Amino acid sequence: MKKVLTALLFAPLLALASGAALHLDKAPDVQGDQAALQRGAKTFVNYCLNCHGASFVRYNRLMELGLSEQQVKENLMFTAEKTGELMRIAARSDEQKIWFGAAPPDLTLIARARASEAGSGADWLYTYLRSFYVDAQRPTGWNNTIFPNVGMPHILWESQGLQVLGKNDHLELLVPGKLSPAEYDKQVADLVGFLVWMAEPDAGFRKRLGIGVLGFLVVLFGVAYPLKKAYWKDVR
């Protein structure tokens, strides 16, 4: 009993220690690049939205990426008829549990949910989508170095190619994909950038507003301090 209590006491510390050992690659920041976010949205709709929903975002918000309503309807809307509808999938969660053993998670907030001491959610997703390798022991035929025994198959394998786990757990490209490694990294960066944007579409406005407020406070201080000195100059 004493050993069990000791193990429970130190379990959080062990979890932190194991999390700190996780190495994540730095994800490129594409939040200011509308073309990159548009490409990321296209990849998301064509590859991710088949199983994963984004049920807190409406299609009409994609127009904030510089797309017209017609472009959204023709190129990005496959699960809805009106741009005001949510980005949901046709399959029900109970059906997915039967098919996959568990319902794939909604990806609206995944970029924020995956943030940790090891790095941002963007870093985790960027590393994860580049860390799949062929594993015949897994039901899907795939595994992942930062998400061991992952249930999701490698949906972008045609673009990346087939990786295998070599010596010292180093990933090696066995069969090249349609894209070069640099091109695939760019595709993943665009997709991750869209996931980051989707988690908080108003982040850019919030940051600009914060800078504006700080600027206003600096100007206000420049006016208020001389006024304060003039008001209290005769008070000893």
Task: Give the domain ranges of the chain.
Answer: 24-199, 206-230
Instruction: Give every CB contact of residue 200 below 8 A, 6+ residues apart in sequence.
Output: 112, 206
pTM comes to 0.80
Encode pLDDT of 187-212 as tens digits.
999 999 999 999 998 877 777 778 88
Give me the chain's average pLDDT, please: 86
What gap in Å lies between CA 106 and CA 16, rounded to an integer? 26
Burial class (CB in 10 A: 0-12, 13-18, 19+), 128: buried
Is a pLDDT exceeding 90 seen at residue 35? yes
Instruction: State the DSSP code for 152.
Output: S
* Chain-centroid distance, C-alpha 172: 25
24-199: which CATH number, 1.10.490.10, 3.40.190.10, 1.10.10.60, 1.10.760.10? 1.10.760.10
Angle between helix axes 121-128 and 181-199 (nearest 10 degrees) is: 140
The amino acid at residue 230 is A
Scan for tokens 């944007």, then name that residue.
Answer: 197
Least confident of 17-21, 89-93, 168-172, 225-229: 17-21
Element of type H or E holding 134: strand 132-134
Radius of gyration of the chain measured on its C-alpha atoms:
24
